[in-house]
């Protein structure tokens, strides 16, 4: 028999936890931009030196965009999972804390990989960070989908499968990135473009499939 909200010895508001998650994700995404160093050049030489300096920052800009898009994807997915959630129990709280711990590390691992994009260890550190967050999101959804006492509304097996397929994309791509980094560390960072394309294609496919079923 499922437990009700009143059977817990303490209460944590779903809305409060969601607000905290939103705030920390926003903070992490802001830190990504702050991590890009502002060029320092003499006014008389700026026209020449700035072009060269900015060209050297290109890997950091590219990685900033990748990390930002990955984080916003995670945040959107978090809201989608919380849509099905009625209450917060200790396991949900623990999983969210773990997600936030590794989320606030993203600016650091992004800076390291951006500054040393040709160094395997630096790039692999970024991939591992993404891999851990992605795996935690899979665990988060697995727990929600198997815990009927948490449901805000029922969902069917196809909906569960849809989320698993989408959530498995980023951890799989992160593992691919780790493998590619042993061959070409800079190129391995581009694998997340694959993940974003897969997300878009799958979202359009599932949305179209759901519309066909409803029709």
Tens of pLDDT, residue by residue over 127-137, are: 999 999 999 99
Answer whether residue 6 is part of any domain: no
Rounded CA separation 2/154 (Å): 14
* Dist CA 31 CA 103 (whole Å): 11
Q: 7-16, 55-64, 172-181: which range is least confident on average?
A: 7-16
- Do residues 113 and 187 touch, judged by C-beta distance below 8 A? no
Give the pLDDT confidence of 38-68 residue by residue, as tens digits.
666 555 566 666 667 777 778 788 888 889 9
In this predicted structure, what is the pLDDT of residue 204?
67
Instruction: Identify whether 83 is part of a domain.
Output: yes
How many Cα atoms occupy the beta-carbon half-sphere of 4 within 13 Å? 1
pLDDT band at 213 (very low <50, low <70, confident <90, very high): very low
Mean pLDDT value across residues 149-170: 72
**5 inside domain:** no
Report residue 70 as tokens: 């990955």
Per-residue model confidence (pLDDT) at position 42 = 55
Structural contact between residues 199 and 73, judged by C-beta atoms closer than 8 angstroms? yes
Domain membership flag for residue 39: no
Going from the C-alpha of 67 to that of each of 6, 100, 167, 214, the distances in angstroms are: 40, 15, 16, 36
Note whether residue 29 is domain-resident: yes
Supply the pLDDT for residue 157: 59
Residue 5: pLDDT band (50, 70, 90) is very low
In a domain, 206, yes or no: yes
pLDDT at 206: 57
List C-alpha distances in Å: 26 to 21, 22, 143, 148. Answer: 8, 6, 25, 31
Q: Are the C-beta atoms of residues 158 and 144 closer than 8 Å to each other?
A: no
Under 8 Å CB-to-CB from 37, ≥6 apart: which residues?
Answer: 57
Top-ranked range on mean pLDDT: pick from 26-35, 132-141, 149-158 = 132-141
Task: Place 168 in a pLDDT band, splitting at 50, 70 and 90.
Answer: confident
Question: How many domains, the chain?
Answer: 1
Q: Which domain holds residue 16?
A: 12-34+45-214
Distant-in-sequence, close-in-space partners of 79: CB < 8 Å, separation ≥ 6 = 18
Beta bridge partners of 151: 85
Predicted TM-score (pTM) of this structure: 0.81
Lowest mean pLDDT among 37-41, 98-102, 162-166: 37-41
Residue 37 has pLDDT above 50, yes or no: yes
Residue at 3 is within a domain: no
């Amino acid at each position: 028999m499922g437990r009700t909200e009143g059977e817990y010895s303490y209460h944590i508001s779903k809305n409060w936890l969601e607000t905290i998650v939103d705030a920390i994700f926003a903070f992490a995404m802001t830190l990504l931009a702050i991590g890009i160093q502002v060029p320092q050049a003499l006014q008389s030489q700026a026209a020449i030196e700035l072009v060269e300096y900015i060209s050297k920052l290109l890997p950091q800009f590219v990685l900033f965009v990748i990390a930002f898009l990955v984080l916003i994807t995670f945040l959107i997915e978090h809201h989608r999972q919380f849509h099905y959630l009625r209450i917060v129990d200790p396991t949900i709280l623990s999983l969210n804390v773990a997600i936030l711990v590794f989320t606030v590390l993203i600016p650091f691992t992004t800076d390291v990989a951006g500054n040393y994009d040709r160094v395997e260890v630096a790039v692999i550190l970024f991939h591992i960070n993404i891999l851990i967050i992605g795996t935690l999101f899979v665990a988060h959804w697995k727990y929600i989908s198997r815990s009927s006492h948490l449901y805000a509304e029922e969902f069917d097996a196809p909906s569960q499968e849809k989320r698993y397929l989408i959530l498995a994309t980023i951890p799989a791509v992160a593992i691919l990135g780790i493998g590619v980094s042993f061959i070409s560390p800079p190129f391995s960072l581009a694998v997340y473009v694959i993940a974003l394309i897969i997300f878009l294609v799958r979202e359009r496919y599932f949305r179209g499939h759901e519309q066909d079923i409803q029709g």
